[in-house]
Chain A
């Protein structure tokens, strides 16, 4: 299934800011058709790693290799469209390039956002916005999809659905997917491998193995071990456990995020 050459890879990445090492000797490789999820607590350097891999920041040490002529579909962590800019979903999609309206509508349909063409971007709900961002990314027929917290602002019931959607898009477009998440159990079903990051790579491998890995448990606490099958539970229950596994200062933030 996977081609030999990775779409993007990095070796020995080090990134420092104000004397602090935000990324410490990280290796990563992503192949076509593969979904890799980076998880870690807040401040673990997940977004920084993505920025390094995308060339938005330069590593202090190490090297990023990205295959030439790669089309990247990027879904940023935060996309705030100020209401001062009048922007319909249709017009927003058109910023990705010249596409016929049918292509835009079918991209919206694929992500379950059909009929949003004429809506104003600033009026979309969190879930609708994420879907529109996904639609824009796939319009470009990407070789590589990069998603930074793709469920930000999406209610918990919708989060699992977004991850299922990403997995379906991978099957359909046979692209590589690199995503960032703060919750292992939510992504478990849809990811091929998981990299647990806390400045350095704590552990990496298949999601089931990671959930039992001592390094992972050390980072996220043992409360998580009992919640192994929690992703198949109702979202109410999941929310409880999700709250428990977060470090105290993160917990509050995550709660805010769920609205």
Chain B
């Protein structure tokens, strides 16, 4: 097999190993739309990085974080519902990103690769970035696991018990933003959330404990990455969407068989 395929596979597996466990919290905390908002704002980050000549991944990370903090801040200060606010931020940042990219003169940008990923173009340098970012997220997630779980179960109770709820929430958002930045190459800004929620949702039916769900979620992510790559190579389909399709197939297969068992 060619080098680029190996790199793609390794990058995909690393990202799945992080997106799975982190995704369980996205599912438990009902933050799927929040994840979308973060990832859409990543495109704005890319546009700003190009326009201002800054480091792209870093700019993306900072823009994601800024949007996350802005959403939380505005949530407390006005009367619109959370999902309306998220919708406004998701679409305005995506559109602003697209408009800004169109203004970049003389630069030929493969927009499709940002929107849907281009894992087969991962370089050794990208691979190192993905590995470093993922390791960092995984380690921090393990460190905050217990307080994050407790506040996900009941935020006030966690607060009374002395858990620094606001700080942990901010760290969690930083982790999400980092995963978005890292997973960009794999599936693109439009599909990143699916890597967080589909493996986690699929893992739910096999799991009896939160940690077990996180592990299964990573394993299902591995299967999706492997399956998607094979699909993509065999039928020459776009890799990012193929991975998401593979994940969805696993989800529907397990859930439909679960429903059939229950006789629904």
> Which chain A residues have a beta carbon within 8 Å of chain B's beta carbons?
51, 54-56, 72, 74, 76, 79, 81-82, 84-88, 91-92, 95-96, 120, 140, 146
Contact = CB atoms under 8 A, between A and B. Distances in A.
Interface of B: 27-28, 146, 149-150, 152-154, 156-157, 159-161, 204, 207-210, 212-213
A86 B204 contact: yes
Nearest to A137: B157
Nearest to B24: A85
B154 to A, nearest CB: 6
Contacts of B212: 86
Chain B contact residues: helix, strand, loop or mixed: helix
A97 B128 CA distance: 37
Contact of A95 (B146, B156, B213): B146
> Top 5 nearest A-B pairs by Cβ distance?
A74-B160, A86-B207, A95-B150, A85-B28, A86-B208
Given A85-B28, A86-B204, A91-B209, A56 B153 contact: no
Contacts of A95: 146, 149-150, 153
Contacts, number: 52
Nearest to B146: A95
B153 A88 contact: no
Contacts of B161: 72, 74, 96, 140
Given A54-B160, A72-B161, A87-B210, A92 B154 contact: no
Contacts of B146: 95
Contact of B204 (A54, A76, A84): A84
Contact of A87 (B27, B156, B209): B209
Contact of B28 (A54, A56, A82, A146): A82
Nearest to B204: A84
